[in-house]
Chain A
């Protein structure tokens, strides 16, 4: 963007009265302060809006109950997909946390559409803060909200019967954060071009549902019909869910076949977790760049 040191004003202002006051001396707001401002304001709003938080947890809890209980017999011991002494409910649990993060991240971007509708976006866009700071601040605020949702979902672990370890939880949260930032940036890239709430909701549901259902968040990636297996490998969220699940399970003594069921395979090749994470990171940085570009556009 423009840079104060690289350019000089078109008109010299040495003789003008304003040059004598502090008015013409402008401090550039540091990048991270700009990011903080955007983040802080969103979080301030979020803490005032409990309904939104509860709303974002309702669906994952419903899925956990309906799918978890309903499909446990189908996938459970004896079905051959999961090893004995493990349940589908346990397997699904990290996926439901991922789902919470996914939905909260993406829909947090709705704030931008609200801000456009109610005018505050102009206050943001006319401020002398770089648009990249706006995008990063928004992505981090969306991710923060999503992480709060994800952490709250952890309280269901004992009920579901998932064994947790401190290391596993921390690893999982770090991986979820990457997912949350990427998905928030994705939401921002879409939301910053949207002019109406309805438009955003329609587009988002249209994109989010396949992203969620093809990601392996709700079922093991093993034993799928070929066409569906192929589709799941094209869903970026797949590569975020697998490490999340593996990190949660591998640190608390689950059997190897159970953990293997969570990993992404292409043919007989099992993708290393670092590759999964790399894929998500690259996609995340790309959509963040896209979001910045969208915010930089002027009418």
Chain B
């Protein structure tokens, strides 16, 4: 561990690497991360949860979408240390034991992926979108899912899958 002198108050935490605790998929987890480690890298490389994908690493594709305290966010533009104490849900945490989440089922039934790389982000984003409750039509679902790009072009089927789950809930 490296200590940097900044002339600040002594009670400020100044060591670079630190232990943080997160609740990930309902399980308390501890990670030893430096401040510059993104939540995405902490999940994948420190907690071995590789379901969350890295597409662009710059906020431009949505592949890294996870739920933080129920809200969809981009884990690539979040530092892990910012989420100390938060509740994080990744694609690994949305099925109930062996029962798939309705969106996972709908994605399979609607053939809503090809390579599958965008799928974890799409599903986490769709869960967040449905709980926000702001999308009332197919056009609005499309607009509010625009933060998740699919480079295979499965978009039509992705929106079909989400609409199926949304309509079933009404």
Partners in one complex: no
